[in-house]
Amino acid sequence: MGTATYSLKGKYVFSATARSDGSNRFGQYSNAKFLPNYGLSGRWDVSSEKWLETSRLISGLVLRGSYGSQGNVVDAVGPELIASYPSTGAINPITGFPFLNIKSLPYPSLRWEKTHQVNLGMDLALFDRRVSINTDFYYKRSRDLIMARTIAAEYGITTMYKNEGRLVNKGIELTLNVDIVRQKNFNIGMTFINSRNINKIGDNQFSNDYQSYFTGNANVPGKAISGFYSYKFAGLSPENGLPLFDNVDKSKDPVVEDPTTWLVYSGQLQPVMNGSFSINARYKQLSFYSTFAYAFGSHKRLDPLFLNKTNDGVPPPFGNANRALLDRWRKPGDEAHTNIPALVDQTAAQAYGKLLDNPYSAYTRSDIRAVRNDFLRCPSMNLSYTCPPAVIKRLGVKGLSGGLSVSQVFTIASKALNGQDPETDGVGTTALPIARQYNFNLTLSL
């Protein structure tokens, strides 16, 4: 590894690094075991320039930039076949030899995962450093990502690894600090942290599991990493109130057909933009601090209405039922003013062949149950007071302070969530709701 740094007048700094990473996990070919990586970076302290030193507006300005490469090793692979004896010590009755379980196929042709990244940044201070802005832009392109691909069971294992993944990741991060009021006995400040990320899966030949399309784990070219799909809801049957879906029938086979031909894209589970901001204020001995968090651009599924694993949709006898079931389809004509399916006999709600979904589970995975997940919440508020030295002296103690804090103060979320928590899944079934808490503290030092 080599590093070189050059600084000119303390205003211009240039740096370069070069190294070679090696691993024996990548095949028998020597050119696959080693990966050269490098990095170039520069920094310009613009505020040190004479033409900016006298500025009343700009108190500090630094521009940054870098470009580099890196490699990644996947620990789950190796160049040799790895097999193990079963824990039971079973013997093959025909050969008389012990059985062997394949733990890992040999991967002599795998290569390093490679990533090239560009970073541009700026540190800006304004108005005697009352306002400071730190922003960073990044663009990351990855190739030869190692991905699991489905293979025939005749190989003794159903998945194998291959260098065929591509990913583009870009975004911007912003931190803003503002001293709104800066006085001896009165201060008000605000900190704002924001992150925006856009990613896109590149071309690949990855074989996705059918269930992964619904959970956001499918690697579909051109879509986001956490993008998920849904059945296209087409209303309720006027005959029995069961949900209907476009292009879905028992003839569909996700093994030989592309599921995106009958599923619809419902967005991504991870937010495009998220962040937080905090407000702190102080008046003499009284202090206030509050934090807020937000996220925009994500989607999620509503909690299932039908929790029973049978095909009739009837709630289990000891389970919680959603009150939305009170508005379910009951008679012909109800489909005009409700989209909640009826509860029918098991013989009427048959599974869709190889899709392994019945009308109720398909309804849970339909686009009508996928909604925007934007929210703004206040996780905490804190108010504290510290007794001034004069009062402490009269009381004959070393210190006295107290405070009141509230957690989970409020949440403003998309109306489409119907009161469902934007960050916690399964509230009322597999998870407890987030409760507001109040805490009072009193500290006395003798």
In a domain, 91, yes or no: no
Q: Write out the E strands in 23-158.
A: 34-45, 58-72, 82-84, 101-104, 113-126, 131-150
pTM: 0.81
In a domain, 359, yes or no: yes
How far does CA 12 lie from the centroid of its chain?
37
Phi-psi region of 30 (alpha: psi -120 to 50; beta: other; left: phi over 0): alpha
In a domain, 86, yes or no: no
Structure tokens at 168: 């583009």
In a domain, 372, yes or no: yes
* Domain region containing 20: 2-72+111-445
Work out the burial of residue 50: count CB atoms within 10 Å of its CB; fewer than 13 is exposed, 13-18 middle, 19 or more buried. Answer: exposed
* Number of domains present in the structure of the chain: 1
Q: What is the pLDDT of residue 322?
A: 81
The DSSP H or E segment spanning 176 is strand 159-182
Q: What is the pLDDT of residue 236?
A: 94
Q: What is the pLDDT of residue 397?
A: 85
Q: What is the pLDDT of residue 371?
A: 95
Q: Write out the E strands in 202-232.
A: 227-231
Q: What is the DSSP letter of 332?
A: T
Give, for all 446 residues of the chain, the pLDDT tens digit. Answer: 789 999 998 889 999 999 888 777 665 555 567 788 899 999 999 988 888 888 889 989 999 999 999 888 777 677 777 778 877 777 888 888 888 777 777 777 778 889 999 999 999 999 989 999 999 999 999 988 887 777 777 776 777 778 878 889 999 999 999 999 999 999 999 999 999 999 988 877 777 888 899 999 888 888 999 999 999 999 999 998 999 999 887 777 777 788 998 999 999 999 999 999 999 999 999 999 999 999 999 999 998 887 655 555 677 777 777 888 899 999 999 999 999 999 887 666 677 767 778 888 899 999 999 999 999 999 999 999 999 888 888 888 888 899 999 999 999 998 888 888 898 887 766 777 788 999 999 998 88
Compute the distance between CA of residue 428 and CA of residue 204 in angstroms, rounded to an integer. 40
In a domain, 53, yes or no: yes
Q: What is the pLDDT of residue 276?
A: 95
The DSSP H or E segment spanning 395 is helix 389-395
Is 62 in contact with 43 (CB distance < 8 Å)?
Answer: yes
Q: What is the DSSP letter of 250?
A: T
Is 35 in contact with 21 (CB distance < 8 Å)?
Answer: yes
Q: What is the pLDDT of residue 312?
A: 58
Is 52 in contact with 61 (CB distance < 8 Å)?
Answer: yes
In a domain, 96, yes or no: no
Phi and psi torsions of 347, nearest 5°: -70, -20
In a domain, 80, yes or no: no
In a domain, 93, yes or no: no
User: End-to-end CA distance of the chain, in Å?
Assistant: 57
